[in-house]
Structure 1
Amino acid sequence: MPEKKRQERVSVEVAGRRMTVVNLDKVMYPATETTKGEVLSYYAQVAPVMIPLIGRRAVTRIRWPHGVEGPMFFEKNLPSGAPSWLPRVTVSSHGRDADAHPDRDRLTYPLVLDLADLTYLVNLASLELHVHQWQVDTDDHPLNPDRLVIDLDPGSGAGLTECAQVAMWVKPRLEEMGLGTTVPVTSGSKGMQLYAALPGKHSADDIRALAQDLAQEMTKKHPDLVVWKMTKSLRPGKVFLDWSQNTAAKTTICPYSLRGKAAPYVAAPRTWGEVEEGAAGGPLAQLLFTEVLERLDDVGDLAAALAGNRGT
């Protein structure tokens, strides 16, 4: 049998915490030869804009221990062996109804409040970070949602062009509802999300119902391109306006998170000018992590309006 390669271990200090990172040379994205060290570096560079977006939200991770061509798994609970300093919160797996169902399926999730927390989780090959649309307060009590998300999921034969067209129809409707700034995010996968900040006055059920009504309205107005039902046979050539992502138990990829795709694409905030150009047939593509870092230097944080108050 060939000798097993010894893991590279490096002791680092991050945000005042001492930890060991391993396998920095491991290739996580073979198509681009992107290593784990580069993944950690990317997250360190986007941390100042990403961590405020995570806020005090329970973090679900998708881990690829052997890179994106190997097996992956979802992880909600606190990782085995997590250090005592890693912040955590215990809530119901059914969402923010833990108080209503105190003994039902409670899970202890990690929180990401600083770079040390983020680095610890990414070092475990957590390429994707998914979060709810609600936070917990400093007493770990679940709050009402502080943002709404519309997930635009293209069926076969549709793509970002069609998603951009639907986004241009949805944006003014959200503004008419008094939701203010709407932030478009290309998902790093197939479609895109639209986020709008909320004042935190309404329950997840209320927000889900609002999003469902909007999806039905868009389907009625644009039946050739929009579908609100989840039935997959209805989706070819159309965009599924997924209102269900606002359900309390659901999570959505966090803006600035990497995706576990063939290449290191990112859930990337975009300008409305880019979306409008894409809707007209112009160039609009998913962005790689290198492009996202360049854009941060050029145009800054396009999702800053969603940062909120971190659950205080």
Structure 2
Amino acid sequence: MPASAGRQAVSVDGHRLALTHLDRVLFSASGHTKARILDYYTRVAAVMVPHTADRPASFVRAPDGPAGQTWYAKNPPPGAPDWLTIAPVEGKEGPAPHIVVDSTASLVAMANLGAYEVHVPQWTASGGPDAHDRLVLDLDPGPGTDVVVCCKVAQRLRQLLDDDRLTSYAVASGSKGLHLYVPLRPTPAREAADYARALASRMEEEHPQLVVVSMARAARTGRVLIDWSQNASAKTTAAPYTVRLRERPGVATPVSWDEIAACSAPEDLAFAPEQVLERAEAHGDLLAPLADGSGRGALP
């Protein structure tokens, strides 16, 4: 996929796609064009799609990049191919159609429409919104803290999860913090959210100067917010390997616990798309057990 091409017709998974505006610079700070982002998604799909397949997706759309108009989209956008997999999701006004990113073609097709960030819930379309198969804790550093502090919090959370016979995996969010995932046997949504809230509250009690559970901005200075609320069925989290729309294209990147322990500066856990591809080629998917169902635990 030549970066200089403005338009190109390609075949992906047997589907013909007309890729457009390939030479558009989306991230001026790094020079990443739309062609480079589409190339990233084409190459990372093998490890990313297992984490989005069977999950109704939402997207952050930004056709001109993060400096242009940006909005959160749940329903299929105009121009979406009719072969995309659709899953209905119950809402206040009845079921609404959501796209399921279940192939390289669907991932590239949505990115071609400017849907560069992919977000998914903690449940699958086949299991339903009251059968969560994973738990997530979003560690978000407040003013005066950074991902290095998040790593310290993450290591203690890992210990607490281990005590409950739950295996945790870390993802550098591609923004400022970390996501911790735990593969679960299908679990009622309320039980998953209650456990996540109790775990976050325990951390706040242990380390009140380091951790906060309240969303209030005034309470977050100098502390790491443990956002447990993304375990609600209506909430979504940035999918592993998705591009994040920041000044430079961050990526939600799986990282090892050794990398978490060794982190001494924010740049240690900041990865460009090309670096993520190199990591996937060298190490495979560090989150594979989260997608293949192995190691699923039961909440205590």
Q: Same fold (TM over 0.5)?
A: yes
Counterpart Cα distance in 2 of 1:105 and 1:233: 37
How many residue pairs align between the two structures? 289
What's 2:208 paired with? 223
CA–CA separation in structure 1 for the residues paired with 2:116 and 2:265: 31
* Aligned 8 A contact 1:55 1:307 in 2: no
Q: Which deviations, in whole Å up to 9, do the C-alpha atoms of 1:33-52 show, x marking residues without a partner?
A: 10101000000111001000
Q: Hey, what's the Cα distance between the residues in 1 that align with 2:195 and 2:261? A: 25
Amino acid at match of 2:141: P
Q: What is the match of residue 204 of structure 1?
A: 189
Cα 1:210–1:273 change in 2 (3 A) is: same
| Alignment partner, residue 301 of structure 1 | 285
Residues of 2 paired with 1:283 and 1:59: CA distance?
A: 29
Quote how far apart the aligned CAs of 1:143 are: 5.5
Please state how far the C-alpha of 1:285 moved relative to its aligned partner: 2.9
Distance in 2 separating the partners of 1:127 and 1:265: 11
Match of 2:142 among 144, 149, 155: 155
- Cα distance, 1:125 vs structure 2: 1.2
Letter in 2 for 1:127: Y
For the residue of structure 1 that corresponds to 2:59, the secondary structure is strand
Contact 1:228 1:241 in 2 (8 A): yes
Q: Structure 2 matches for 1:69-80, cutoff 5 A?
A: 69-80=67-78
Alignment-derived partner of residue 268 in structure 2: 284
The residue that corresponds to 1:43 in the other structure is 41
Q: Are 1:132 and 1:249, in contact at CA under 8 Å, matched by a contact in 2?
A: yes
Tell me the distance in 2 between the aligned counterparts of 1:274 and 1:93. Answer: 40
What is the distance in 2 between the residues matched to 1:89 and 1:281? Answer: 41
Match of 1:165 in 2: 152
Bigger mean CA deviation after superposition, 140-149 or 55-64: 140-149
2:213–2:226 CA contact under 8 A, matched in 1: yes
Q: Could you say what secondary structure the match of 1:65 adopts?
A: coil
Select 1:116's aligned residue among 105, 116, 121.
105
Q: How far, CA to CA, are the matches of 1:282 and 1:42 in structure 2? A: 23
Does structure 1 conserve the Cα–Cα contact (< 8 Å) formed by 2:136 and 2:231? yes
Deviating beyond 6 angstroms after TM superposition, the runs of 4 or more aligned structure 1 residues are 280-283
Deviations 1:23-66 (A, max 9, x none): 11111111111010100000011100100011211110101111
Summarize deviations over 1:50-105 as a string: whole Å, max 9, x none: 000112111101011112211111110012232221110111237xxxxxxxxx34
CA separation of 1:178 and 1:46: change in aligned 2, threshold 3 A: same
Q: Is contact 1:86–1:111 with CA below 8 Å preserved after alignment?
A: yes
Instruction: Provide the residue aligned with 1:248 in structure 2.
Output: 233
Q: Structure 2: which amino acid aligns with 1:186? A: A
Gaps of 5+ in 1: 1-6, 95-103
Whole-angstrom CA distance in 2 between matches of 1:152 and 1:285: 14
1:107 and 2:118 matched: no
CA distance in 1, matches of 2:267, 2:27: 25
Please point out which of 121, 126, 140 is paired with 1:132. 121
**Distance in structure 1 (CA, Å) of the matches to 2:265 and 2:70:** 35
Q: Distance in 1 between matches of 2:77 and 2:292?
A: 27
Closer, same or farther in 2 for the Cα pair 1:142/1:229, shift >3 Å? closer
Structure 1 Cα separation of the partners of residues 184 and 178 of structure 2: 19
2:237 paired with 1:239? no
Q: Which runs of 5+ in 2 are unaligned?
A: 294-300
Q: CA RMSD in A?
A: 1.7
Alignment-mate amino acid for residue 59 of structure 2: R
The answer to whether the 8 Å contact 2:59/2:115 transfers is yes
1:274 corresponding residue in structure 2: 259
Question: How far off is 1:250 after superposition?
Answer: 0.5
User: For the residues of structure 1 that align with 2:129 and 2:208, how far apart are their CA atoms?
Assistant: 37
Map Cα deviations across residues 209-240 of structure 1 (whole Å, 9 max, x no partner).
00000011000011110111111111001000
SS at match of 2:222: coil
